[in-house]
Amino acid sequence: MSDAMNQARGLLAQALEIGAESLTDDASVSSTEAWDSLAHIRVIAAIEGHLGSELDTMEILEIEQLSDIAAILERHSAAA
C-alpha cells in the first residue's frame, strides 16, 4: 500500500471519526455509512489541513472515494 493511501486512510478515518482499519481500499461516499455531507466537509478540511493549502474546486468535486484522496495527496506531494 502506498504512503499516500495510508495517509488518505488516516485522514478519512479521522474525519469520519472511525477506525482506519474499518476502511477498505474501495471505501466511498456510497459505501461508507459514516461518510455523510457533514463528514465530507470534515474530509475536505482534514486534507487541506494536512496539505497546508486549500484544494481547488475541481479537486473537491472529485472526492468520492478513498483512492481520490490518495490521488490528491500524491499530486500535491509531486508538486511540492
For the chain, the straight-line distance linking the first and the last C-alpha, in angstroms and rounded, comes to 22
Residue 1 has pLDDT above 60, yes or no: no
Scan for cell 481500499, then name that residue: 25
Instruction: CATH number for 3-79: choose from 3.20.20.140, 3.40.50.2300, 1.10.10.10, 1.10.1200.10.
Output: 1.10.1200.10
pLDDT at residue 78, rounded to an integer: 83
Residues of the chain with pLDDT > 70, as a percent, come to 98
Q: Kindly report the pTM of this predicted structure.
A: 0.94
Q: Which three cell numbers stand for residue 2?
A: 502506498
Mean pLDDT (the chain, rounded): 95
The 10s digit of each residue's pLDDT in 12-28 is 999 999 999 999 999 99
Q: Where are the domains of the chain?
A: 3-79
